[in-house]
Chain A
Amino acid sequence: MLVSLLRRLIQATFVLVAMTVIVFLGVNVIGNPVDILISPQADQAERTRLIAEFGLDQPVWIQYFEFVKGALQGDLGTSYVFNEPALKIILQHLPATLELAVAATLMSVAIGIPLGLYAGLRPKSLPTRIIMAGSILGFSLPTFWVGMLLILCFAVYLGWFPSSGRGDTVTVFGIPWSFLTLDGLQHMLLPAFNLALFKTSLILRLTRAGVQEVMPQDYIRLARAKGLSNRRIVAVHVLKNVLIPVVTVVGLEFGSIIAFSVVTEKIFAWPGMGKLIIDSINVLDRPVMVAYLMIIVVLFILINLVVDVLYTILDPRIRLNAGRGR
């Protein structure tokens, strides 16, 4: 267990190094930041001084090593726009995104698993058909369009929920949170639902497929033969086996929820990382883009690791070093 965990950690480090190279090179190809940073009125001496100050006169690989050296010390460069450490800016925007992503994940699990169970247990019934057709709709609806419709319905026409921002926040440990105030929750509901829609369909279909795979198994028949109540069979024997792939997907998809929050945050003007990165791309704020990607990469590697460990706890038959065999 420990050895395989170590091996995964080494693998993760390799991925991290590879990604720093790709991200750094990729982002450094973009445009010429000199034009954005330095006003056109500046004279040549001023330009040279500023270029040297930002280290933009160095060859790319020296810039890269400077970047890695800084990154190891927690310094991912200074934002051209905010004139503050990029990491600090990202971390300031992280809680809002995390909050939204967690809310969306909880929502998709709370809706997806019960509906999936129902659809799996009663495959022929009318509600199941509606649920399954609905899930195709959930896959097909483009997130950004649904977000706009939600705003149109609930914010513009009905006026039930606000259309943008985080609302009132409560500061805990120096970080503002929305989910602790009623106003904040009201602001969160629409974007969280918007973000959850796709994942709900995914979890629903996964649960249904799991139920259909588990139900004909011998141990279910045995449980029935033992005279266990239907409720116990579903709640213990079926659900536990169905949950294995679902947990994996929920974990793995958490990263993708954070990534897709780019869209939702833009529509609902939610002041998280996603909105920040779009704004940064538009003004070519390279340090912020690099810092954002680095944070996301670390986040993903962590998520993958946690999912692997959780997996072994849920299903002792799988050993870590055997790979997940997706």
Chain B
Amino acid sequence: MSGTQSHNPLVTSAAKVEASPLAHAFHQFARSRLALFGLALLLLIVCAAIFAPWLTPQNPYDLMQLDILDGMLPPGEASMSQGFIFRLGSDEQGRDIYSAILYGLRISLIVGVISALTAAIVGSVLGLLAAYVGGRTESTIMRLVDLQLSFPTILVALMILATLGKGITNVVLALVIVEWATFARAARGTALVETRREYVEAADCMGLPMRSILFRHLLPNCIPPLIVIVTVQIAKAISLEATLSFLGVGVPVTEPSLGLLIANGYQFMFAGKYWLSVFPGIALLATIASINLVGDRLRDVFNPRGA
């Protein structure tokens, strides 16, 4: 950055933020068409997942609705017994791939969002605590963070799930354990800067309890960078969950996520039956990519100099 203040985008944007922060942030956000496209896609995906029962011709988990005669139909074939068309084909049990994708999307999104949010809460509280208290608390927490981050996520998650066994709760737990450190580090970084500000000093002097300083004063000022990380981590969690399910240690077969749907189709792929795994894969890709597009733009909006 050059020394001249007039060209500093931080100053001009800060002035506008005071007028109407949300509107301004959105305006900034919308300047990238790619990001807007990502946001629209994301909204579409979320709506599709929420309203899945009304958008699909069958409930893919209800065995009564499945007809084995409809098995392995390529995309576009009509059902033998029921009055609908398998738009994206069917699997070996006669399950409509399109319906399975929307229901699988629900599992993937729920697992991703819950684990990322939990990790965000746990991680930021520990990070704030480390920054504010300092001393031994800080070094203990940060050692743990370093230890956690020095091991690849997939390995840690794999081991946790190998220990605990399959299941949605276990997957969420594994993802939280894998992700909290990222938040702790980011929260500490931001909070370290903030704790030196006057308002924290003032709160200290007024003798406010630590809880109130941490959560009512420090936390709100550390939120923007954390929002960006939450977005990115949701995408990461969804991707990791899909990978774990693909490896056979993730969600149980009774509640297939997108990753498990892809894994189920894997064995049929060599016979050229592409639709079983390609379409769930596209859904997964669209979900992760749209979240990443939004997160990428949010980073630019909240942090013009780039992280």
Contact = CB atoms under 8 A, between A and B. Distances in A.
B285 A282 contact: no
Interface of A: 15, 18-19, 23, 26-27, 29-30, 133, 136-137, 139-145, 148-149, 151-152, 156-157, 163, 209, 212, 216, 255-256, 259-260, 262-263, 266-267, 277-278, 281-282, 289, 293, 296-297, 300, 304
Given A142-B239, A263-B247, A281 B147 contact: no
21 contacts: A18-B147, A26-B163, A30-B163, A140-B289, A140-B292, A141-B288, A142-B284, A145-B242, A145-B277, A148-B262, A148-B266, A148-B269, A151-B269, A152-B274, A152-B278, A157-B272, A278-B247, A289-B162, A297-B151, A300-B150, A300-B151
Contacts of B306: 209, 212
Interface stretch (B77-85, B117-125, B153-161): B153-161
Residue among A15, A23, A140, A304 with the most chain B CB within 10 A?
A: A140
A216 to B, nearest CB: 8
Contacts of A281: 158, 162, 249
A262 B242 contact: no
Nearest to B282: A145
Contacts of A27: 159, 162-163
Nearest to A153: B274
Contacts of B278: 149, 152
Given A140-B235, A152-B274, A263-B247, A145 B281 contact: yes
B154 A260 contact: yes
B172 interface: no
B29 interface: no
A15 B147 contact: yes
Which size class do B's interface residues fall under? 35 or more
B159 A26 contact: yes
- Dominant secondary structure of chain B at its interface with chain A: helix
A30 B162 contact: yes
Contacts of A26: 159-160, 163
Interface in B262-282: 262, 266, 269-270, 272, 274, 277-278, 281
Interface string B244-269: 00111100000000010010001001
Residue among B151, B259, B272, B296 with the most chain A CB within 10 A?
A: B151
A149 B275 CA distance: 11
Interface of B: 2, 34, 147, 150-152, 154-155, 158-160, 162-163, 235, 239, 242-243, 246-249, 259, 262, 266, 269-270, 272, 274, 277-278, 281, 284-285, 288-289, 292-293, 296, 306
Nearest to B34: A133
Contacts, number: 106
A304 B2 CA distance: 35
Contacts of A297: 151
Nearest to A304: B150
Contact of B277 (A19, A23, A148): A148
Given A148-B262, A266-B247, A142 B288 contact: yes
Contacts of B247: 144, 262-263, 266, 278
What 5 A-B pairs come out closest when comparing CB atoms?
A: A259-B152, A140-B289, A256-B152, A145-B281, A140-B288
Contacts of B2: 216
Given A137-B285, A263-B154, 10 more contacts: A26-B160, A140-B235, A140-B239, A140-B292, A141-B285, A144-B246, A145-B281, A163-B270, A255-B152, A259-B154
B285 A140 contact: yes
B84 to A, nearest CB: 27
Contacts of B274: 152
Contacts of A289: 159, 162
Contacts of A145: 242, 262, 277, 281, 284-285
A23 B147 CA distance: 13
B243 A137 contact: no
A12 to B, nearest CB: 10
Contacts of B159: 23, 26-27, 289, 293
B154 A262 contact: yes
B269 A259 contact: no
A142 B243 contact: yes
Contacts of A140: 235, 239, 285, 288-289, 292
A209 B305 CA distance: 10
A151 B158 CA distance: 24
A185 to B, nearest CB: 23
A81 to B, nearest CB: 15
Nearest to B185: A326
B262 A144 contact: yes
A90 B234 CA distance: 34
A210 to B, nearest CB: 11
A148 B154 contact: no
